[in-house]
Amino acid sequence: MNVETKPPRQKEGRKAREARILLAAEKVFAEAGFGGATMQLIADMADLPKASLHYYFPTKESLYRQVVEKIFHIWLRAADVFDSASGPAEGIAAYIDAKMELSRAYPAGSKVWASEVLHGAPVIQDYLETTLADWTEGRMKVIQAWIDEGRMTPVNPRHLLYMLWATTQHYADFSHQIETLNGGTPLSEADWAEAKRSVKQIILTGIGLEPPQP
Amino acid sequence: MNVETKPPRQKEGRKAREARILLAAEKVFAEAGFGGATMQLIADMADLPKASLHYYFPTKESLYRQVVEKIFHIWLRAADVFDSASGPAEGIAAYIDAKMELSRAYPAGSKVWASEVLHGAPVIQDYLETTLADWTEGRMKVIQAWIDEGRMTPVNPRHLLYMLWATTQHYADFSHQIETLNGGTPLSEADWAEAKRSVKQIILTGIGLEPPQP
DNA sequence: GTCTATACACTGATAGAC
DNA sequence: GTCTATCAGTGTATAGAC
């Protein structure tokens, strides 16, 4: 009988299938936006009948919401490097590195998040008001403390954070423009290294954590 | 008769009506994206019957294309401050100011542009490959010349440009997030001044055009 | 030139067979 | 649990009255 194969295959199969759907959805939402994405396109990319999507995710919006929530939590976890740092130079450099790596590894996710915020955050407004607001306030206090201790140049912590977000996410969100300006080819390993080096050089120098070059 | 009112009213009426449609379309495309926007929504916002839109702009895509082109040319014109500057400190500061003002004055336009690039620039790919690529190369040469003349710190001109774009456009594209983190209210005059000051401080210090603060 | 009415395609979602 | 067949609603676009 199939009594011993059924329970494990089903349970794992479901998780794996949901993950595959979420991955396909992330890609389609990133390419077409929420309005431009269709359940049919997502089903095709996940190699499933359209109706099966509605079994795992009752509505298009519920699927979209899970995609956005997944991105947000990956993004939050990367931000932890801020806390485990011993000082500003190390912490901010590590944060830039982590966010640049995220932009490189999950460009579709970053694009979905950007698109969501761009259009007024209709789905994850509550996250902005609670989790993100709390995280931002906490990090602003850390930066302000570093400034008060004289460990970095006095700058506005809020706008420093915005600059860090904008600059690092730009490499994911505008990857198409960047690739076009790169001769139509994706950034190489060396290109990414140079991008990270350039961003860190300008920002860290800008807030007094690296000596100005001669 | 209406023989003398007809020709001027029609000619000006047409231009004015097209401008009103373009403005309404820009807003709707910014809020909902290309896929989420509907001709009905745009018609309602422009206070016109839906079919009249198709008289002035045959298809939804042609209307969208004109919106994007309009944005792009405004953006290009603002970039001219780069050339009329006598040196790097003045030029880059003026460019930051100009782009921050654009983000403040035309947030919807910036969002439409961002959304277009985000989704792979299906409509304005040719602009990226020609006009934008040319502009970028020209400005990179200007920056490299300033570096060679020892007037600013050696940095990668390409990534400096990306940082300028990312940081300034962030205030338009992510305005909803920024307003949420600002307690749910739009940035005040003082907030904008502080944002511009902060961006210029960090970047100009970062490339050796402002002395590090004590 | 402008608007009303409508054609036609496609969407998200579901009912019901397997 | 999974898929085929189908529905009701909405989208762009147009034909034709004014």
Considering the domain boundaries, does residue A161 fall inside one? Answer: yes
Question: Average pLDDT for residues A172-200, to the nearest whole number?
Answer: 98
Query: Tens digits of per-residue pLDDT, A105-156?
Result: 999 999 999 999 999 999 999 999 999 999 999 999 999 999 999 999 999 9
What's the pLDDT band for B82 if we cut at 50, 70, 90? confident
User: Are A117 and B205 inside 8 Å of each other by CB?
Assistant: no
pTM given for the model: 0.94
Contacts of A197 in chain B (CB under 8 A): 156
| Model confidence at A5: pLDDT above 80 | no
CA B171 – CA B192 distance, rounded (Å): 9
Q: Are residues A182 and A145 in the same domain?
A: yes
Considering the domain boundaries, does residue A211 fall inside one? Answer: no
pLDDT at B29: 98
The count of other CB atoms within 10 Å of the CB of residue A214 is 7
Query: Tens digits of per-residue pLDDT, B140-175?
Result: 999 999 999 999 999 999 999 999 999 999 999 999
Q: Are residues A105 and A156 in the same domain?
A: yes
pLDDT at B51: 96
Considering the domain boundaries, does residue B191 fall inside one? Answer: yes
**Residue A121 in contact with residue B180, Cβ under 8 Å?**
yes
Question: Average pLDDT for residues A76-94, to the nearest whole number?
Answer: 92
Mean pLDDT (chain A, rounded):
93
Considering the domain boundaries, does residue B40 fall inside one? Answer: yes
Considering the domain boundaries, does residue A146 fall inside one? Answer: yes
CA B29 – CA B32 distance, rounded (Å): 5
| B120 SS3 class | coil
Q: Are residues B102 and B194 in the same domain?
A: yes
| Positions of strand C less than 7 angstroms from a protein CB | 1-5, 10-16
CATH of the domain at B20: 1.10.10.60
Considering the domain boundaries, does residue B214 fall inside one? Answer: no
CA B21 – CA B43 distance, rounded (Å): 8
Q: Are residues B27 and B87 in the same domain?
A: no
| Model confidence at B48: pLDDT above 60 | yes
Of A118, A201, A208, the CB nearest to B173: A118
Sequence-separated (6 or more) residues with CB below 8 Å from residue B116: B34, B68, B122, B123, B124
| Model confidence at B5: pLDDT above 50 | no
User: Are A119 and B37 inside 8 Å of each other by CB?
Assistant: no
pLDDT at B7: 41
Query: Tens digits of per-residue pLDDT, A194-213?
Result: 999 999 999 999 999 999 87
Q: Are residues B21 and B83 in the same domain?
A: no
CATH of the domain at A138: 1.10.357.10
Q: Are residues A41 and A107 in the same domain?
A: no
Domain span including residue B44 = 14-58
pLDDT at A201: 98
Considering the domain boundaries, does residue A5 fall inside one? Answer: no
| Model confidence at A6: pLDDT above 50 | no
Helices (H), chain A: 6-36, 39-46, 50-56, 60-78, 88-105, 107-118, 125-127, 133-148, 157-173, 175-181, 189-206
What's the pLDDT band for A192 if we cut at 50, 70, 90? very high
B15: DSSP letter: H
**C-alpha R_g of chain B:** 20
CA B16 – CA B33 distance, rounded (Å): 24
**Residue B56 in contact with residue B46, Cβ under 8 Å?**
no
| Positions of strand D less than 7 angstroms from a protein CB | 1-5, 10-16
Q: Are residues A141 and A188 in the same domain?
A: yes
User: Are A177 and B153 inside 8 Å of each other by CB?
Assistant: no
Q: How many domains does chain B have?
A: 2
What's the pLDDT band for B12 if we cut at 50, 70, 90? low
* A59 token code pair: 């509505």
- DSSP letters, A16-73, are HHHHHHHHHHHHHHHHHHHHH--HHHHHHHHTS-HHHHHHHSSSHHHHHHHHHHHHHH
Question: Average pLDDT for residues B166-190, to the nearest whole number?
Answer: 98
| Inter-CA distances, A10 with A3, A7, A13, A14, B164, Å | 11, 5, 5, 6, 51
Q: Are residues B53 and B72 in the same domain?
A: no
User: Distance from CA of residue B192 to its chain's centroid?
Assistant: 17
CA B183 – CA B167 distance, rounded (Å): 21
Q: Report the phi/psi class of residue A37: left, alpha or beta, with left for phi > 0 and alpha for psi in -120 to 50.
A: beta
Q: Are residues A50 and A117 in the same domain?
A: no
| A110 SS3 class | helix
Q: Are residues B80 and B20 in the same domain?
A: no
Q: How many angstroms separate the CA of B210 from the C1' of C18?
A: 74
Q: Are residues B48 and B107 in the same domain?
A: no
B14: DSSP letter: H
Query: Tens digits of per-residue pLDDT, B23-36?
Result: 999 999 999 999 99
pLDDT at A8: 42
Q: Are residues B46 and B76 in the same domain?
A: no
Nearest to A156, CA basis, from B176, B192, B94, B208: B192
Question: Average pLDDT for residues A29-43, to the nearest whole number?
Answer: 98
Contacts of B33 in chain A (CB under 8 A): 33-36, 115, 118-119
Query: Tens digits of per-residue pLDDT, B104-148?
Result: 999 999 999 999 999 999 999 999 999 999 999 999 999 999 999
Query: Tens digits of per-residue pLDDT, A41-59?
Result: 999 999 999 999 999 999 9
CA A31 – CA A34 distance, rounded (Å): 9
Contacts of B193 in chain A (CB under 8 A): none
pLDDT at A191: 98
CA A161 – CA B78 distance, rounded (Å): 26
- Burial class from Cβ neighbours inside 10 Å (0-12, 13-18, 19+) for residue B84 reads exposed
- DSSP letters, B62-114, are HHHHHHHHHHHHHHHHHGGGGTT-SSHHHHHHHHHHHHHHHHHH-HHHHHHHH
Considering the domain boundaries, does residue A6 fall inside one? Answer: no
Give the amino acid at B159: H
